[in-house]
Amino acid sequence: MANVRVGIVGPTGYAGMELVRLVAGHPRMTLVYLAGSGARTGPLDAHLPHLHPLADALPPVEPLDVRKAADACDLVFVALPSGESGRVAWGIFQSGRDRGVKVIDLSGDLRLPPDVYEAWYGKPALPREAIEEACYGLPERHRQSIREAALIANPGCYATACALAVLPLGDLLADVTGPIVFDAKSGVTGAGRAPKEHLHLGELANDAYPYRVGKHQHTPEIEQALGGAVRVLLTTQLLPVPRGILACAYVPIPPDQAPMVYDRYTSFCEGEPFVRFLREGEMPHIKAVNGTNECHLAVHWDERSRLLQVFSAIDNLGKGAAGQAVQNANLMLGWPEREGLNLVPLWM
Ligand SMILES: NC(=O)c1ccc[n+]([C@@H]2O[C@H](COP(=O)([O-])OP(=O)(O)OC[C@H]3O[C@@H](n4cnc5c(N)ncnc54)[C@H](OP(=O)(O)O)[C@@H]3O)[C@@H](O)[C@H]2O)c1
């Protein structure tokens, strides 16, 4: 299937504008529909000047019409705030089901069972039918189900960085002797584009601090992504940089398993197009993954504390959002996973 007609709902948001950049550069996708709240309409590059070079390839932004999205597109990415996003994704999926329209929702609305969602998001969940229809889109764990799915719940940014940090441990995860502690730090675009006082330059510049301690909604998502057998403690911290996530996992593996860890990471990453196990002595940098769909991993067994440290870096808008969504689309459409995602970051 070539020249798949693609729609993006929420192209003026941070995740949506990254989707526009990736879809416009994808050799088998054509952007045919862009829609938002109606607050920003018309030529997208009039709102986002970095998209001027794409102006001729972009349809104008219109107020969202679910029926039109389902009729005009073969594939729709939905990147709206939680609460709204899953509802819209489910509506487009239902309207386009007969035509086989594929939908990828970037919010948390379709990722968790209804009771867990309501407890952590504090919002009413979507109908159970919608949540059961959606496939959790972490390719490194659910590749085959994603290939067969028509509705995807694209994983959260912290959840992706943290789950990928420890998934290479495989069945060793069942032997951990206590909770896995994740200390994760994110750039400010993770909070979305709507202005908030604590995100102003004057507030955040020269600062860094923990937030949503004990209640970050990606905690149950990480536990679910790891198969439900491991308890997770997640600390999320805000960094005064625009994008990128750096997560450090502290994993209490049985010490006699430590000599096997390096081989497990090596063989896991050998088969993965976007997860790179760095050479010994190298450490992940957010600058080395920003603008890409890559995840960089490094490990250190600490003999004194008997804890395994794993370091993981992703771009919250790349592997944490738009990049992973395009990777999922490639899988759903039977294309090579790296199609449209051969991206090199800007280091300077
Ligand atoms: N930012 C990240 O790093 C990241 C990572 C992973 C997942 N996500 C998820 O992706 C989704 C979008 O996040 P974001 O950071 O891109 O948010 P954002 O920057 O705040 O953008 C939100 C977008 O939604 C549109 N919108 C808001 N209400 C709408 C409505 N009622 N109908 C139609 N459009 C509406 C806005 O359009 P207008 O300009 O027209 O108002 C805007 O384009 C969220 O669910 C978020 O959790 C984000």
Sequential DSSP letters for 214-255: TT-THHHHHHHHTTS-S-EEEEEEE-SSSS-EEEEEEE---G
Looking at ligand 1, which residue's alpha carbon is closest to its atom 24?
Answer: 80
- Nearest-angstrom CA–CA distance, 163 and 157: 10
Distances (CA, A) of 5 to 34, 76, 205: 11, 9, 41
- Nearest-angstrom CA–CA distance, 95 and 127: 16
Ligand 1 pocket test: which of 14, 21, 68 has the largest number of ligand atoms within 8 Å of its C-beta?
14
Nearest residue to 79 via CA among 122, 125, 17, 150: 17
Q: What is 71-122 written as a DSSP string?
A: HH-SEEEE---TTTHHHHHHHHHHHHGGGT-EEEE-SSTTTS-HHHHHHHH-
Return the residue matching tokens 């932004």.
61
CA 52 to ligand 1 centroid distance, Å: 21
CA 263 to ligand 1 centroid distance, Å: 40
> 39-55: per-residue pLDDT in tens?
999 999 999 999 999 99
Residues 343/293, Cβ–Cβ less than 8 Å: yes
Residues labelled as active-site residues: 157
- Nearest-angstrom CA–CA distance, 299 and 297: 7
> 326-341: per-residue pLDDT in tens?
999 999 999 999 999 9
Q: Does the Cβ of 187 fall within 6 Å of ligand 1?
A: no
CA 334 to ligand 1 centroid distance, Å: 28
Q: Does the Cβ of 15 fall within 6 Å of ligand 1?
A: yes
- Helix %, strand %, coil % of the chain (to 5): 40, 20, 40
Residues 11/63, Cβ–Cβ less than 8 Å: no
Looking at ligand 1, which residue's alpha carbon is closest to its atom 46?
Answer: 107
CA 247 to ligand 1 centroid distance, Å: 23
pLDDT band at residue 2 using 50, 70 and 90 as cut-offs? low
Give the pLDDT confidence score for residue 21 in this predicted structure: 98
Those residues with Cβ within 8 angstroms of residue 88's Cβ, 6 or more apart along the chain or in another chain: 9, 64, 66, 78, 80
Please give the share of the chain, as a percent, with pLDDT higher than 70.
99
Residues 249/281, Cβ–Cβ less than 8 Å: no
- Does pLDDT of 59 surpass 70? yes
313 SS3 class: strand
CATH number of 4-133, picked from 3.40.50.1980, 3.40.50.720, 3.40.930.10, 3.40.980.10: 3.40.50.720
- Does pLDDT of 180 surpass 90? yes
- Does pLDDT of 1 surpass 90? no
CATH number of 158-316, picked from 3.30.360.10, 3.30.390.30, 3.90.105.10, 3.40.47.40: 3.30.360.10
The structure tokens listed for 247 are: 């997560």
Q: Does the Cβ of 83 fall within 6 Å of ligand 1?
A: no
Q: Which whole number is the average pLDDT over 83-107?
A: 98
CA 281 to ligand 1 centroid distance, Å: 38
Q: Which whole number is the average pLDDT over 259-283?
A: 97
Q: Does the Cβ of 157 fall within 6 Å of ligand 1?
A: yes
Pairing mode, strands 209-211 and 245-251 = unpaired
* Range(s) within the chain of domains with CATH label 3.40.50.720: 4-133
Looking at ligand 1, which residue's alpha carbon is closest to its atom 17?
Answer: 192
Q: Does the Cβ of 71 fall within 6 Å of ligand 1?
A: no
